[in-house]
Amino acid sequence: MLLHQKKNHYLRVGLVMTALITLLAVVGAFWTPYEPTPIAGGAKFAAPSLGHLFGTDHFGRDIFRRVMAGGGTPSFIALGSLFLGDGPSARHPPPSPGTRSSPTGAGGTSPRCPG
């Protein structure tokens, strides 16, 4: 398998990063400790802590909760485009060698593009 080869450490790192992002998106879709949008005036630009894992923004909103709440939409768009883009190619495989694949049927040459 690909994961057992020594030179595929980039694949392992990519899989771990993808798994973490997917986990955040799935958990954020079903559970967040509290709402991601309340504004706390006294906690503007707070540093990361146990109360705010990624800190807060200029309105005092918790960035970690906002990442969890907003991760589902891009993931849904990415999966939808993956299935929409791969669907037609799965139903219509490329033509086999020797079949008519050019618009003129001349085996790959056309009058517009000599050669």
| Gyration radius of the chain over CA positions | 25
Pick the closest to residue 20 from 52, 84, 64, 83 (CA basis).
Answer: 64
pLDDT of residue 22: 85
pLDDT of residue 64: 87
45-50 long-range contacts, CB within 8 A, separation 24+: none
Count of C-beta atoms within a 10 Å radius of residue 75: 17
CA-CA distance, 50 to 67, in Å (whole number)? Answer: 16
Model confidence pTM above 0.85: no
What is the mean pLDDT, run by run of 10 residues, along the chain of 115 residues?
A: 69 90 83 79 89 89 86 82 75 65 54 56
